[in-house]
């Protein structure tokens, strides 16, 4: 991913694939409101909410406050209602934002934004595309047992969100894995997931139906497979990739070993061709103490399709989705939000995903700094939305 300093945000024209406005894509979201008495069309309201979130707005009240302070030209570019008698553009008020966030079709919104991101993101000229799947609970969305839980797919290369589905109280992440990924073209894509999704049904569906590849971590929720991996002769298998990093008060050394799973080493898992062991040694720079963590993984990719370095990068890159969750929690205070009405918690999460994806597409890596910069100039969010 191209790293661009926040102070250089959009000093240059948007690339060609970004010239299609996200606002145009939002017209695909159906408006469920009774048309009688509707003042503000749905796409401009949603676009205004995204623009406000691009400045760091965390709530419906903050979104409404940003819209109320926006200059007339900004409101005109966003397409909000223009009073035919006075010619003044009227920003939606807080109650309008609250009603729309709670009542909008959340599935359609996620689908519209996901399609736009897919069409807008730069695709790597070489190598495979890698998508990460992981879930997150919105802690402030309700009492324990009734909180909103969302499952998300993220493109490791760009850090953009490609899809999101709700995991309601009557189901779990496992049943939502396929609905999340079904709309995506996964041909030759590598899908990474944590141990919860290391399921035979997922592996068969990805390889047989979607023509994709998988790279799953393995833990004791699959006891037979875990013990098979642990029992492989790792002491006789050379280290094929080693990386080291320093930062956040620690020094990490990661070593990867790979074993081909054929003949006597064949694993009891669909299409598995390679078993992996990753040993991470970590030193706490403050105390000088070392710790060691061992992780096992499996993939249907053989050695000719993916090098050890590739596999190590993709396994480590899976945690880009945790970075997304961290930004939503720390920069946007997601878990502290008390929005609980209707679809509002999920829709606000979608708006945060959208803002982060837009900034990633603009080459921004320091999200918090970019939000502060945007908050100082109401025209900057319009540039990111492709409106100017």
382 contacts 388 by C-beta, under 8 angstroms: yes
Task: Name which of 149, 150, 173, 148 is nearest 163 in CA terms.
Answer: 150
Q: Is the predicted pLDDT of residue 299 greater than 70, yes or no?
A: yes
* pLDDT for res 307: 96
- Residue 129: CB partners within 8 Å, gap ≥ 6? 123, 155, 157, 188, 189, 190
pLDDT greater than 80 at residue 11? no
Give 189-221 pLDDT, tens digit per residue: 999 999 999 999 999 999 999 999 999 999 999
Q: Is the pLDDT of residue 15 over 50?
A: no
What would the pLDDT profile of 98-129 be if each residue is shown by its tens digit?
999 999 999 999 999 999 999 999 888 778 99
CATH placement of domain 125-328? 3.90.350.10
Structure tokens belonging to residue 135: 């879930």
State the average pLDDT over residues 367-379: 97
Q: Which residues contact 86 (CB under 8 A, 6 or more apart)?
A: none
Cα 225 from Cα 206, distance rounded (Å): 19
Q: Which of 14-28, 204-218, 233-247, 340-354 has the lowest mean pLDDT?
A: 14-28
Q: Is 286 helix (H, G, I), strand (E, B) or coil?
A: coil
Q: Are 232 and 251 in contact (CB under 8 A)?
A: no
Residue 325 has pLDDT above 60, yes or no: yes
Distance CA(54)–CA(45), nearest Å, equals 14
Query: What is the pLDDT averaged over residues 241-258?
Result: 94
SS3 state at 312: helix
Looking only at the bridges linking them, the beta strands covering 160-167 and 130-138 are unpaired
pLDDT of residue 10: 44
Question: Looking at the chain, which runs of residues are DSSP E strands?
Answer: 130-138, 148-155, 160-167, 190-193, 213-218, 241-247, 250-260, 274-284, 290-299
pLDDT band at 170 (very low <50, low <70, confident <90, very high): low
Task: Tell me if 216 sits within 8 A of 206, measured CB to CB.
Answer: no
More confident residue, 319 or 297: 297
Distances (CA, A) of 291 to 170, 226, 283, 299: 40, 21, 7, 27
Q: How far apart are CA 11 and CA 25, in angstroms?
A: 24
Q: Tokens 């145009």: give the residue.
A: 24
> What's the CA gap between 259 and 265, in Å, rounded?
8
Q: Find out whether 193 and 226 touch, Cβ atoms under 8 Å.
A: no
Q: Is the pLDDT of residue 7 over 70?
A: no
Sorted by where each begins, the domain ranges of the chain are: 4-108+340-385, 125-328
């Amino acid at each position: 991913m191209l790293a661009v300093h926040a102070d250089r945000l959009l000093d240059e024209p948007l690339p060609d694939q970004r010239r299609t406005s996200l606002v145009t894509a939002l017209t695909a979201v159906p408006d469920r409101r009774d048309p009688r008495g509707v003042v503000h069309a749905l796409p401009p309201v949603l676009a205004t909410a995204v623009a406000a979130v691009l400045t760091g707005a965390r709530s419906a009240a903050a979104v409404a406050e940003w819209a109320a302070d926006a200059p007339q030209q900004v409101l005109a570019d966003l397409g909000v209602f223009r009073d035919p008698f006075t010619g003044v553009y009227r920003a939606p008020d807080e109650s309008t934002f609250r009603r729309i966030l709670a009542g909008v079709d959340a599935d359609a919104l996620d689908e519209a934004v996901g399609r736009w991101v897919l069409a807008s993101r730069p695709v790597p000229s070489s190598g495979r595309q890698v998508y990460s799947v992981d879930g997150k609970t919105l802690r402030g969305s309700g009492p324990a047992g009734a909180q909103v839980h969302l499952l998300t797919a993220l493109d490791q290369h760009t850090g953009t969100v490609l899809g999101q589905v709700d995991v309601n109280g009557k189901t779990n992440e496992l049943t939502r894995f396929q609905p999340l990924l079904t709309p995506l073209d996964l041909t030759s894509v590598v899908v990474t997931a944590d141990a919860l999704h290391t399921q035979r049904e997922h592996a068969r569906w990805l390889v047989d139906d979607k023509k994709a590849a998988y790279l799953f971590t393995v833990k004791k929720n699959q006891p037979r497979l875990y013990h098979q991996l642990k029992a492989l002769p790792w002491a006789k298998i050379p280290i094929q990739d080693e990386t080291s990093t320093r930062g956040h008060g620690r020094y990490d050394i990661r070593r990867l070993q790979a074993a081909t799973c054929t003949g006597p080493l064949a694993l009891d898992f669909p299409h598995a061709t390679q078993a992996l062991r990753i040993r991470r040694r970590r030193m706490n720079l403050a105390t000088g103490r070392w710790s060691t963590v061992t992780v096992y993984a499996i993939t249907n990719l053989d050695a000719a399709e993916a090098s050890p370095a590739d596999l190590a990068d993709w396994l480590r890159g899976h945690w880009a989705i945790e970075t997304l969750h961290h930004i939503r929690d720390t920069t946007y205070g997601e878990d502290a939000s008390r929005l609980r009405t209707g679809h509002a918690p999920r829709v606000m999460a979608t708006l945060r995903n959208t803002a982060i994806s837009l900034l990633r597409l603009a080459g921004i890596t320091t999200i918090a700094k970019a939000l502060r910069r945007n908050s100082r100039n109401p025209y900057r969010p319009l540039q990111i939305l492709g409106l100017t």
